Amino acid sequence: MNLSACIGKWNATCHTTISDIPEAGWNNCAGNTDPFVRHQHLRALEESGVVSPETGFSPRHVALWDDSGTIVAAAPAYLKTHSKGELGIDIGLMMAHERSVGPYYPKLQVEVPFTPISGSRLLIKQGVDSVTARTELIEILMKQASECRATSIQLSYISKDDDACVRQSGFIATEGNAYIWKGDGVNNFDEFLGKMQSSKRSKFLSERRKVAAFDLNFKTFSGKDISPDLALKFFELYKSTFERNRTTPWLNSKYFEMVFESMGNFFEITVALKDESWMAAQLDVITSDIRFAQHWGHNGSIPFLLFEMGIYRTIEQAIMADQNTINFGTTGLHKSERGIAMEPTHHAMWFVDPSFNEIAKLSLIRKSESALQERLAGAERLPFRRQPSNEKP
């Protein structure tokens, strides 16, 4: 812990490791709807070495405490020292800052590293005045930025409530996109396909038949079946997918071992087997309301298996579990073509140098406009039947 202060009605502390903060107190603020901000997940990122000063993330987590020693609000924050692992950086903005002000780094980043999934980043214990708590979290983050000599505070993939608060605090808001599937009352996968143009529906059924011709067995692990010994098998497929794309995986096998052990109830793994060999695996993070199609790995030998497991079966499983929403992440034009629409993601920035905020505002407005155009283009790629127009010619 390197900062302790009284901000407003609560005491504030800043911590250089999540392990310094009581797990139960943090999780009372994080809740159960977003597993990625829970204490166990952030601890796995740190203790596995995924998050470290070497990877560009030095933890600076913030907590607010009442007089009884209870955590009433918290925020996962990191002093970011270089561009590796960036999820939302605008390269043009970084170059402009370096030309007009000076180095872009370090900055204080409020996010879940290597996790481009939207959710609350200003975590509030149930029953606490959320407006006051969010405002005081922002104030302590600003104080922490000053202590660390950070050039800015940046919040990534934040909730709508967080977004409204930071706008009031002078942050510049911007948007990106994510692929979000909504069930809208469909009772089975056939009903979902039935909404599509016949040519598109035929294409998707053809893809499924081609995968079925390989005579694979599919096995699903969930709950108590998710054990650390599955981690290495999954990681080998996950890593090989990155290697085929000539990129380095963000996560490591120790991370998967830790989250499988401490958070198994939030995971579901579907494996494609040929005899006893793992050909591919899809890892979903699940809550009662939403499914996150988060990680995928395969050996590359079976065409269309990504679509079968990463989209079609994932939708089928969500329907069977009465989950109306699937977050399919931020990339992949093939997703809109298969019935998954885009929705905006919310981000915000505040720069210490007041003059640069005006420069940043123009850039981030353009970023939001670009995101809107991307959503409109994605909507045109959706395979659903067009509703007849009621307008007279």
| Rounded Cα gap, residues 174 and 368, in angstroms | 5
Token pair for 251: 């996560």
- The rounded distance, in Å, linking the Cα atoms of 61 and 70 is 16
In the predicted model, what is the mean pLDDT of the chain?
93
pLDDT tens-place string over residues 191-206: 999 999 999 999 999 9
CA-to-CA distance for 163 and 173, rounded, in angstroms?
7
Give pLDDT tens digits for 173-186.
999 999 999 998 89
Q: What is the mean pLDDT of residues 311-317?
A: 96
Higher pLDDT, 82 or 37: 37
Q: Could you report the per-residue pLDDT of 132-161, keeping only the tens digit for each? A: 999 999 999 999 999 999 999 999 999 999
Token pair recorded at residue 57:
């993330």
Spell out the domain ranges in the chain.
3-177+343-380, 185-323
* CATH number listed for the domain at residues 185-323: 3.40.630.30
Q: How confident is the model at residue 6 (pLDDT cuts 50, 70, 90)?
A: low
- Global pTM? 0.94
How much is the pLDDT for 1? 47
Asked whether 40 and 255 are in contact (CB, 8 A), the reply is no
In this prediction, residue 3 carries a pLDDT of: 53
| 185-323 shares the fold of 3-177+343-380 | yes
pLDDT of residue 393: 40
Q: Residue written as tokens 């907590």?
A: 63
Question: What is the pLDDT confidence band of residue 91, given thresholds at 50, 70 and 90?
Answer: confident
What CATH architecture is 3-177+343-380?
A: 3-Layer(aba) Sandwich (3.40)
Neighbouring CB atoms inside 10 A of 276's CB total: 6
Beta strands in 88-169 (DSSP E): 107-110, 123-124, 152-158
The pLDDT-based confidence of 5 (bands split at 50, 70, 90) is low
Residue 343: what pLDDT? 98
Give the pLDDT confidence score for residue 86 in this predicted structure. Answer: 82
